[in-house]
Chain A
Amino acid sequence: QVQLQESGPRLVKPSGTLSLTCHVSGDFISTNHWWAWVRQLPGKGLEWIGEIYHDGGTNYNPSLENRLRMSIDKSKTLFSLNLSSVTAADTAVYYCVRRSFYTWTRDYRFEFWGQGALVTVSS
């Protein structure tokens, strides 16, 4: 069974950088899937942040891309998120997600989710 687990500081100062890592078990990062981040602002809905492929290719949400950087480490089966110049508006629960590719439907569904990490931006 594929499992994902977020780790990283839960408190970040304004103007600092939010850094999270997602540890993957039960799968290889080199498989044919995208590895994504989704966040949920307090009491609100869900927002896709971006995603990375095993070859390092990325797609970023245009609303965040000038502050965003993602990386992947296949040997350690983990991928990471860095969001710079954070403000209180970036306080949210951050989820890492495997977007699973299935040949017969040719879609990349958001199938496996981590439990989420609440990151608070505050001085």
Chain B
Amino acid sequence: EFGLTQSPDTLSLAPGESATLSCRATQNAGNTYVAWYHQRPGQAPRLLIYAASNRAAGIPDRLSGGGSGTDFTLTFSRVEPDDSGMYYCQQYGFPPYPFGQGTNLQI
């Protein structure tokens, strides 16, 4: 069964530091329909990155997505306090569009 594993589970950083979140698929999906989301407590997920490396509307360029095959990343050139929260990756190329278990980013 296709699945996604994110690492690390938790990441604690100071403002201004850089960060890389990882998302590994159990098999090569054959496409780059991978998205990243940010979720704050009590809020809906917000789309950050689609098709592995494209920023959604309004997302600053200090965030970038990359990867292919089975390994994908979300990178912050420098983190800010508002970046705190959960980050989820998702494969949305074919059902059931699984999500990773999430990384908790603490700034």
Contacts and interface: CB of A to CB of B under 8 A. Distances in A.
Interface string A32-69: 00000000000001111000000000010111000000
Interface stretch (A16-24, A73-81, A83-91, A113-121): A113-121
Contacts of B93: 107
Interface residues of A, number: 20
Contacts of A116: 44
Given A113-B46, A116-B44, A107 B97 contact: no
A59 B96 CA distance: 9
Contacts of A114: 44
Interface stretch (B19-27, B50-58, B65-73, B74-82): B50-58
Contacts, number: 55
Contacts of B54: 105
Nearest to A93: B44
A92 B78 CA distance: 34
Closest 4 CB pairs of A and B: A113-B44, A109-B50, A46-B99, A48-B97
29 contacts: A45-B88, A45-B100, A45-B102, A46-B45, A46-B88, A46-B99, A47-B99, A48-B97, A48-B98, A59-B95, A61-B95, A62-B96, A63-B96, A95-B44, A95-B45, A107-B33, A107-B50, A107-B93, A109-B35, A109-B50, A109-B56, A109-B92, A110-B35, A110-B37, A110-B90, A110-B97, A111-B56, A113-B45, A115-B43
Interface of B: 33, 35, 37, 43-47, 50-51, 54, 56, 88, 90, 92-93, 95-102
